[in-house]
Structure 1
């Protein structure tokens, strides 16, 4: 199955400063990706490069069932045991050096990629040094030397060739400016911070849940783009699953926008009293079936997953959805 990482016609996302040039990654990966990037002095290294590589390697999965390859590569950065012995360190200080620990894995990935980028820059081989480094990560630097660059599509059934192309193509989906700055504390502010780590994640109708994004589905009316079912091949969130993810497990919201309104409507919030984390709802004509939910992000903006073909993004409350459809806000 082909997984859509980003849509070419997605609107630009504008956020406040403080993102470190990274967006759309799970909160538990974010500090380690930024740390690994900061530890490397090679100019070609960026957080988005590491994030796109991690996404391609494992989809940010960390369980042994989901992040063990048929060849025996392990963990979110997919290290073979022999390679791990060279690059692995106890980066998170838990007393164990493990490719299954996010900190250990990402920092090892960063060290290896940094070394490969340096090697690529000195090699004189044609092409993007990032492409050369990625090829070395996937196939070994010896193969890069063998072919005098990225191995051709004829090598290994195109595995390395497409590995490089897919990761470089995915990088813009993870490029910042990044996290929305959220002040204050409490359930709502914490939920907004968590949701903000998913900015840039594609919209997938029926996709996502408490544990993160997932492939969606089409129901005859929703999830289609250009006449095809986009949701079934897109890993992402829809509007309500993003809210459910953000508040879980402290507040266990139901799955759909209508159910979330039903579960929280006894705690309404006036428009001039909105606080970060409050839920906002829309229904056609302002009454009837609730079709959309978003989260108040402060300064007159909302954070939401708007529709198929778009991404989790920040938008003005006044234009996020038709103003005449606005129902009201609640505080979970």
Structure 2
């Protein structure tokens, strides 16, 4: 099969990433190598365009042979990296006949199934491309526009440290801000804004001169690093928060203090003072600053959910249940998919995901029944107000019991495998759900 140049770039990056992560290397060396691979992979969208442009400059009679040469080279590279790529999932078997055949994959009410199959919001067989592996986190965290989870993880300890500097600024807000600023890109290849702002915190030279410090003890204040910009952002945000809070007490500005602080990070704190609140009127304020603040505040709960398991939570079994489920963010929903050993047929259904997460988190000692109805019989029902990470949430109530089960993360969020055509994702807890503590 023909392989285009951009696909080769992605394949090479994937292969290199696997080799780096599997090698016995110091953490710092791995981080540097991973950053280089991310930068290389970022060139893939332009690869085809660049090749086409060059070929287009050749005489007409040479263009067809040139394209063949490029294709042959692409195929050769693909063959070379194939041994290092992750194996594709096995092909999906035909759906097992059941007592009551499921309806076709269109809007339809749930149907009864046998106890070995699982029962979710949409009880229909999975149809689609089962060769797809974990997708981007945009599907797993709808509307959040997230960077890859691996890019976020290296920042987490520093987000937590910076988020403890003052009461008004917490780690999820700083994480959401860094996602909005430049998607957690750091190092020499981190983009520079049109105004000259640099690094993952997008600091202007004057602001960095004041706040840039050596936070990680490596002997330099690195605007392109991780620790130094995050801690600088934490101190800057805390200073602005305190200043805006004081202005509010004086009647100089009005509005939500955190919203105005984020606006100050984007437009400058003096812009907040001049406007007497949220900067407005100018095109940059209307089309950049206001959407920037809105995006950060809306994604704050998402980053609270991400940071909890990446931070190791409190070491509880419930925290490990959440972490186990989050490993499969973006994996397709598959009707009857998954069990205590992990995904099957390319994915999970809702009770397959909970079965796996609980079994994995408990050291292979607690195997839940396979369906949402039977899982409801395990443990003790508790009020929603007392829910903690790792508790099971049940919904889509019918005559036979709950038709859906999810895992509570905290902050009103849950991780679950919703329905056919969707993926394992984080969502707000549905209305009418009930909580069961099984651990």
How does the TM-score come out when normalised to structure 2?
0.42
CA distance in 2, matches of 1:110, 1:5: 28
Match of 2:298 in 1: 169
Listed as ranges, the matches of 1:85-164 within 5 Å are 85-124=209-248, 125-152=253-280, 154-156=282-284, 158-164=287-293
1:36 equivalent to 2:166? Answer no
SS for the counterpart of 2:343 is strand
Q: Does the Cα contact within 8 Å between 1:87 and 1:108 map onto a contact in 2?
A: yes
Structure 1, unpaired ranges of 5+:
9-22, 184-191, 204-236, 241-256, 262-270, 284-289, 314-332
Match of 1:214 in 2: none
Q: Does the Cα contact within 8 Å between 2:141 and 2:426 map onto a contact in 1?
A: no
Larger helix share, 1 or 2: 2
Q: Does the Cα contact within 8 Å between 2:331 and 2:347 map onto a contact in 1?
A: no
Aligned residues: 216
Q: Which has the higher contact order (CA 8 A, sep 6+)?
A: 1
Query: Shift in Å at residue 312 of structure 1?
Result: 5.5
1:7 equivalent to 2:142? Answer yes
List per-residue Cα deviations over 1:25-60 (Å, max 9, x = no partner).
8221111011111122xx321111111111101111
Q: Does the Cα contact within 8 Å between 1:121 and 1:129 map onto a contact in 2?
A: yes
1:280 aligned to which of 330, 337, 342: 342
Q: Does the Cα contact within 8 Å between 1:33 and 1:47 map onto a contact in 2?
A: yes
Query: Shift in Å at residue 70 of structure 1?
Result: 2.5
CA distance in 2, matches of 1:197, 1:154: 47
Q: 4+ residue runs of structure 1 moved beyond 6 angstroms?
A: 301-305
Query: Shift in Å at residue 66 of structure 1?
Result: 4.1
Match of 1:27 in 2: 153
CA distance in 2, matches of 1:64, 1:305: 38
Match of 2:172 in 1: 48
Across the aligned residues of Structure 1 and Structure 2, the Cα RMSD in angstroms comes to 4.2
Query: Shift in Å at residue 123 of structure 1?
Result: 0.7
Structure 2, unpaired ranges of 5+:
1-137, 144-148, 363-367, 369-389, 391-405, 408-414, 428-439
How does the TM-score come out when normalised to structure 1?
0.54
